[in-house]
Structure 1
């Protein structure tokens, strides 16, 4: 008892390394800085410019609007330049949901494009073109209970937001999520609803919709010649994904989803807002009077909803003691080893001007085989570990049909939460999958077709036997 009491925290010191002393000193330091920057009228000045009033708080200090905007844009620009996310020859597609994060992603990309255009106009040098920008919105109203009037109003607001941006003009692509199944709207809705009906798990349905959303964005990007896909994923959202993926048993594939760059896809995905907090992005949207729309925002349930509520509550409760709680979660996950596709593939100037689908094929052809060696789940594109692959090889002889092989190639998380357990439902699930997902599965397994034939060669008939 005596040793424990000697380690207890007092008002002045901390001997147990619990961090309370450091937090107290930090708060006192913030108080001294705030007092030093306070005018005689009681207005707290921005500690950076020491001229304007501090109106927005970061995890470290309160800043004026101009410095706060520069602070967030600086994080965005650092991520873009450090990872070569955008080049002069790019045609960038910004995924836009209407929320604050995607709104700021669009605004910052627009600011970069406008600056490039001004520099080009001032120099008169036409050898370096200004990168193009497009905007994509995926309409998911078919699976929501939102009235059609609200949906139409939300789409009108999105059209106004994009059209109100200063030149260069941005092309807006609006695609319904069911269109990934069929060009016929009625057929697409029927297949989507039928596919979701085969899944009993709430979290599994939400995860599958997320994967379908990515396929829809990729289709838009590929069909229109875009070279990069920009997502508005920020620190707060990635922190939620770290916890939810861990709970779902996706620890092996987790490093693939939290990097600045993801080249698993036909059009590489980049996350320039990865180091920005959702609260800061929302604050800047409010202070800059940037219009957002939340009419189509739907609550999340299952594991995803619980984790989002937990992280939000954690951030709120510990805002004073540790305002960087979300960043701490992400920084912990960063210690995991990234995959080879967590960077942009090298291209030369000629490849930059090729269509995206050709450029991707050329990159695979030029590679040393590492891309083909990475087996990916056909549903979520998560990398499969060696144990999963060994399990696949050991069960080859039990395959009875295409959907059995498909199920065997899925990651454990998708098998548990998305794939139906009943054979009849599994067959129905496989038959209703969108063509891009089936094609990706066939392309992946096609690389190992010779291995599959080798494993089941004893069960195959020879040409002479087949003719008898």
Structure 2
């Protein structure tokens, strides 16, 4: 999927690779690790960031935990749906969740995970045999996690209820009326203090796993009908440009994830979007006229659906970091052909933007980070005079949302202009 997108989170940027990915253990230059200052570096992420194997793993894991800890959006005991396409970024996200919930983790994650994988082969005209083979490969990765998982087919998007377009009651508002994040953590720990620390989530997992495995087995026996597949193929055949097809695919994919999260009781959805993917998505969405929703499309959290919040814990990782980590620590991934597989650079706006960013990144390594840090909120302060900016600057960030409605409405009108 975005990060999630099948095949989309599987691209690599060639910047500064110079064969290092294939020879991770034997760097071309002899440097000491920038963190421990003792061990010899085995990889160089950027010119000044050379890491030994152990420090790189610690750095990678810490970045994931820090992203979740800093934002404090996922409360203890919440059900979180991991959107896994099988590509490197989403597979790496899954490995980080497994690491955080493992017995050896010093600070364990406290949510209850589940996984969703969407088979999109019907949109790209793959045969049923190829689709079954790809699903089997992804399923072998999902089974190894021991988390409940849901295999969903893109054809199912044709029969979604109209309620998928409705905004549910905000989960964030419900949490705000309840205990604070710290109080929720303390309460969760106290509730489970009589349970062995390594087992406090296993009861939930075992129950959910048995249910989801039955769902998967039932689904594979008769997951879709030829009529469904033909209807999906007619839909995509009726769309003339690859740009529109990719946009349609993204919309159907998002609706399927949202519907599954709601029906299965998940309040958060984790997407595997890396900063490299988000930089491409940011420019593509501007080109497609989606500039007004950039903050939701590329930010850490997306609460536009109300009852289900999308989070992007991989958004600070570059595709290069993910490629290194997966290679060094044997994180499995599966390549699945998508709509734009083998497409020319100018085949679609999304493909052209991806090619442009990747080529620019090769010569100018700061390209992705520069795009990624572009202001995606068309920030309220930028719409105000200098004096009013000072007032807003002096407010806590959360208080900006409780300004008088007519001020926010005028700011929104100016942003649209």
Q: TM class by shorter-chain length? A: 0.5 to 0.7
Of 185, 196, 221, the match for 2:236 = 196
Determine the structure 1 residue equivalent to 2:299: 259
Q: What is the alpha-carbon distance in structure 1 between the residues aligned to residue 294 and residue 318 of structure 2?
A: 20
Determine the structure 2 residue equivalent to 1:244: 284
CA drift at 1:253 = 2.4
Deviations 1:256-278 (A, max 9, x none): 21111001124110001111101
State the secondary structure of the residue aligned to 1:143: coil
Q: What is the alpha-carbon distance in structure 2 between the residues aligned to residue 288 and residue 186 of structure 1?
A: 41
Q: TM-score, normalised by structure 2?
A: 0.64
Deviations 1:18-44 (A, max 9, x none): xxxxxxxxxxxxxxxxxxxxxxx9843
Of 125, 135, 139, the match for 1:159 = 139
State the secondary structure of the residue aligned to 2:234: helix
Determine the structure 2 residue equivalent to 1:102: 90
Check 1:119–1:231 CA distance in 2 against 1; reply closer, same or farther (3 A cut).
closer
CA drift at 1:87 = 2.2
Q: TM-score, normalised by structure 1?
A: 0.57
Whether the 8 Å CA contact 1:46–1:54 is kept in 2: the answer is yes
Q: What is the alpha-carbon distance in structure 2 between the residues aligned to residue 196 and residue 269 of structure 1?
A: 26
Matched, 1:56 2:43: yes
Q: What is the alpha-carbon distance in structure 2 between the residues aligned to residue 117 and residue 202 of structure 1?
A: 44
Whether the 8 Å CA contact 2:45–2:320 is kept in 1: the answer is no
Determine the structure 1 residue equivalent to 2:336: 295
Determine the structure 1 residue equivalent to 2:71: 83
State the secondary structure of the residue aligned to 1:141: coil
Whether the 8 Å CA contact 2:123–2:236 is kept in 1: the answer is no
Determine the structure 1 residue equivalent to 2:116: 136
Check 1:190–1:92 CA distance in 2 against 1; reply closer, same or farther (3 A cut).
same
CA drift at 1:194 = 3.4
**How many residues align structurally?**
299
The unaligned stretches of length 5 or more in structure 2 are: 1-27, 160-222, 381-400
Matched, 1:329 2:371: yes
Deviations 1:311-339 (A, max 9, x none): 11111122xxxx2320110112346328x
Determine the structure 2 residue equivalent to 1:448: none
Q: What is the alpha-carbon distance in structure 1 between the residues aligned to residue 374 and residue 415 of structure 2?
A: 25
Of 239, 262, 273, the match for 1:222 = 262
Q: Compare 282-291 and 110-119 and name the one that shifted more.
A: 110-119
**Higher relative contact order structure (alpha carbons within 8 Å, sequence separation ≥ 6):** 2
Q: What is the alpha-carbon distance in structure 1 between the residues aligned to residue 104 and residue 253 of structure 2?
A: 31
Of 255, 260, 274, the match for 2:315 = 274
The unaligned stretches of length 5 or more in structure 1 are: 1-40, 121-128, 339-366, 376-384, 391-468
Bigger Rg over Cα: 1
Q: What is the alpha-carbon distance in structure 2 between the residues aligned to residue 52 and residue 152 of structure 1?
A: 45
CA drift at 1:152 = 2.4
Matched, 1:47 2:34: yes
Matched, 1:170 2:147: yes
Q: What is the alpha-carbon distance in structure 2 between the residues aligned to residue 189 and residue 76 of structure 1?
A: 38
Q: What is the alpha-carbon distance in structure 2 between the residues aligned to residue 216 and residue 287 of structure 1?
A: 33
State the secondary structure of the residue aligned to 2:98: helix
Whether the 8 Å CA contact 1:154–1:296 is kept in 2: the answer is no
Check 1:143–1:48 CA distance in 2 against 1; reply closer, same or farther (3 A cut).
same
Q: How does 1:439-450 map to 2 (within 5 A)?
A: none
Determine the structure 2 residue equivalent to 1:455: none
State the secondary structure of the residue aligned to 1:155: helix
CA drift at 1:296 = 3.2
State the secondary structure of the residue aligned to 2:283: helix
Q: Compare 193-202 and 93-102 and name the one that shifted more.
A: 193-202
Whether the 8 Å CA contact 1:151–1:296 is kept in 2: the answer is no
Q: What is the alpha-carbon distance in structure 1 between the residues aligned to residue 283 and residue 29 of structure 2?
A: 42
Q: Compare 62-71 and 291-300 and name the one that shifted more.
A: 291-300
CA drift at 1:389 = 10
Determine the structure 2 residue equivalent to 1:417: none
